Amino acid sequence: MNKDIFLTNSYGGKKEKFQPIDKNKVKMYVCGPTVYDDPHIGNARPLVVFDILFKVLKCKYGKENVTYVRNITDIDDKIIQSAKDKKITISELTHKINLNFQQDCNYLNCEEPNVQPKATENINEMINMTSSLIEKGFAYESKKHIYFEVKKFKDYGKLSNKKIEDLISGSRVEVSSNKKNAEDFVLWKPSSEDEPSWPSPWGKGRPGWHLECSVMSKKYLGDKFDIHGGGRDLIFPHHENEIAQSRCANDTEVFSNYWVHNGFITISNEKMAKSQGNILKISDFKNNVNGQALRLALISAQYRQPLDWNDKLLEESQKTIDKWYKSYVELDKPKLISDDDLYPLYDDLNTPKYIANLHKLYEKSQSGNLEDKQEFVSACNFVGLLTETKDEWDKFKKNKSDLSEEIIETKIKERNQARNDKNYELADKIRNELLEKGVQIEDKDGKTSWKFK
Taking the C-alpha atoms of residue 161 and residue 354, their distance in angstroms, rounded to an integer, is 31
Q: Is residue 288 domain-resident?
A: no
Q: Is residue 230 domain-resident?
A: yes
User: Are residues 251 and 385 both part of a single domain?
Assistant: no
Q: Is residue 331 domain-resident?
A: yes
User: Are residues 374 and 409 both part of a single domain?
Assistant: no
Last residue of a domain, one of 373, 396, 419: 396
User: Are residues 384 and 431 both part of a single domain?
Assistant: no
What would you measure as the largest C-alpha separation in the chain, in angstroms? 74
Q: Tell me how far apart the terminal alpha carbons of the chain are, to the nearest angstrom.
A: 42
Last residue of a domain, one of 208, 240, 265: 265
Taking the C-alpha atoms of residue 78 and residue 259, their distance in angstroms, rounded to an integer, is 26
Q: What is the pTM of this model?
A: 0.87
Last residue of a domain, one of 396, 423, 441: 396
Q: Is residue 270 domain-resident?
A: no
Q: Is residue 84 domain-resident?
A: yes
User: Are residues 386 and 423 both part of a single domain?
Assistant: no
Q: Is residue 280 domain-resident?
A: no
Cis peptide before 190 (omega within 30 of 0): no
Give the chain's domain count.
3
What are the start-end ranges of the E strands in 252-330? Answer: 256-262, 265-267, 270-271, 307-309
The boundaries of the domain holding residue 13 are: 6-265
- Walk along the chain (453 residues) and give the pLDDT tens digit of each residue: 568 999 999 999 999 999 999 999 999 999 999 999 999 999 999 999 999 999 999 999 999 999 999 999 999 999 999 999 999 999 999 999 999 999 999 999 999 999 999 999 999 999 999 999 999 999 999 999 999 999 999 999 999 998 877 766 545 556 677 899 989 999 999 999 999 999 999 999 999 999 999 999 999 999 999 999 999 999 999 999 999 999 999 999 999 999 999 999 998 888 777 667 788 999 999 878 999 999 999 999 999 999 999 889 999 999 999 999 999 999 987 667 777 778 999 999 999 999 999 999 999 999 989 999 999 999 999 999 999 999 888 877 654 445 667 788 888 888 988 888 888 888 888 888 888 777 888 888 778 888 766
User: Are residues 51 and 98 both part of a single domain?
Assistant: yes
User: Are residues 196 and 58 both part of a single domain?
Assistant: yes
Buried-state track 386-401, b at ≥16 Cβ within 10 A, e below 16: bebeeeebeeeeeeeb
